[in-house]
Amino acid sequence: MLLEVKNVSKSYKAGISALESTSFNVMGTFNACLTGPSGSGKSTLLNIISGLLPPSSGEVFFDGASLATLDDAALSRFRCENIGCVPQGRSMLASLTVLENVCLPFYLAKKKGDPKDRATELLALMGLDGFSNRRPKELSGGELRRAAIARGLMNQPKLLVADEPTSDLDPANAEAVMALFAKAIDAGVSVLLATHDMNCLKHCSIHLTMEKGRLLA
Amino acid sequence: MKPLTAFRLSIKNIIRRPGRSLCLAAVSALLSFALAGGSLLAECLKNGTKSMSDRLGADALIVPGGYESKAQGALLRGEPSAFFFEGELADRLLDSYGIEQASPQLFIATLDSEHCAFPVQMIGYDPSTDFVVAPWLSQSVPGGPAKGEVIVGADIDGRKGETLEFFGSYYLVAGKLEKTGIGFDTTVFLNMDQAREALDDYAGLVGAYIPEDAISTIAVNVSPAVDINDFSRRIRYGFREEDVGVVLTQAMLGNIASKMDSLLAVIRVITMFLWVASIGVLAILFSAILGERKREFGIYRALGASRKKLSALVLVEASFVSLIGSIAGTALLSLFYFSLNALIGLSIDMPYLAPTSAGTIAWLLGSAIIASFLAGPAASLFTAARIGKMATDAIMREGE
Ligand SMILES: Nc1ncnc2c1ncn2[C@@H]1O[C@H](COP(=O)(O)OP(=O)(O)OP(=O)(O)O)[C@@H](O)[C@H]1O
Ligand SMILES: [Mg+2]
- Name the residue at shortest CA distance from atom 28 of ligand 1: A39
Q: What is the pLDDT of residues B322-333, one digit of tens each?
A: 999 999 999 999
Q: Is B389 a pocket residue for ligand 1 (Cβ < 6 Å)?
A: no
B320 and B213 co-located in one domain? no
Q: What is the pLDDT of residues B185-227, one digit of tens each?
A: 889 999 999 998 888 888 887 777 888 888 999 999 999 898 8
d(CA A97, CA A132): 7
Q: Which of A99-108, A117-126, B249-258 has the lowest mean pLDDT?
A: B249-258
Q: What is the 3-state secondary structure (H, E, C) of A159-171?
A: EEEEECCCCCCCH
Distance of CA B171 to the CA centre of its chain: 32
Classify the complex by whether its ipTM is higher than 0.90, answering yes or no.
yes
Q: What residues contact B47, with CB distance under 8 A and at least 6 apart? A: B354, B355, B356
B44 and B93 co-located in one domain? no
pTM of the model: 0.72
| Nearest-by-CA chain A residue for B299 | A91
B155 and B282 co-located in one domain? no
Q: What pLDDT is stored for residue B345 in this prediction?
A: 53
B17 and B92 co-located in one domain? no
Q: What pLDDT is stored for residue A166 in this prediction?
A: 87
Q: What is the pLDDT of residues B277-310, one digit of tens each?
A: 999 999 999 888 888 888 888 899 999 999 899 9
Boundary residue ending a domain (B216, B242, B268): B242
Under 8 Å CB pairs connecting chains A and B tally to 82
Boundary residue ending a domain (B242, B268, B283): B242
Region A117-126: mean pLDDT is 91
B24 and B153 co-located in one domain? no
- Cβ–Cβ under 8 Å, residues A167 and A91: no
Distance of CA B97 to the CA centre of its chain: 38
> B249 lies in a domain?
no
> B58 lies in a domain?
no
B4, B392, B395 ranked by CB distance to A104: nearest: B4
B27 and B107 co-located in one domain? no
Q: What is the pLDDT of residues B31-69, one digit of tens each?
A: 999 999 888 888 877 766 655 556 777 888 999 989 988
B395 and B367 co-located in one domain? yes
> B59 lies in a domain?
no
B147 and B206 co-located in one domain? yes
By the 10 Å C-beta count (0-12 exposed, 13-18 middle, 19+ buried), A102 is classed as buried
Q: What pLDDT is stored for residue B42 in this prediction?
A: 83
Q: Which of A112-116, B125-129, B249-253 has the lowest mean pLDDT?
A: B249-253
B317 and B177 co-located in one domain? no
Is residue A62 classed as helix, strand or coil in its secondary structure? strand
The number of folded domains in chain B is 2
B147 and B219 co-located in one domain? yes
Boundary residue ending a domain (B196, B213, B242): B242
Ligand number with the minimum distance to the CA of A210: 1
| Nearest-by-CA chain B residue for A103 | B4
- Residue ranges of domains in chain A, CATH in brackets: 2-215 (3.40.50.300)
B213 and B303 co-located in one domain? no
B226 and B285 co-located in one domain? no
CA neighbours within 13 Å on the CB side: how many for B298?
25
Determine, for residues A91 and B4 on separate chains, whether the beta-carbon distance falls below 8 Å.
no
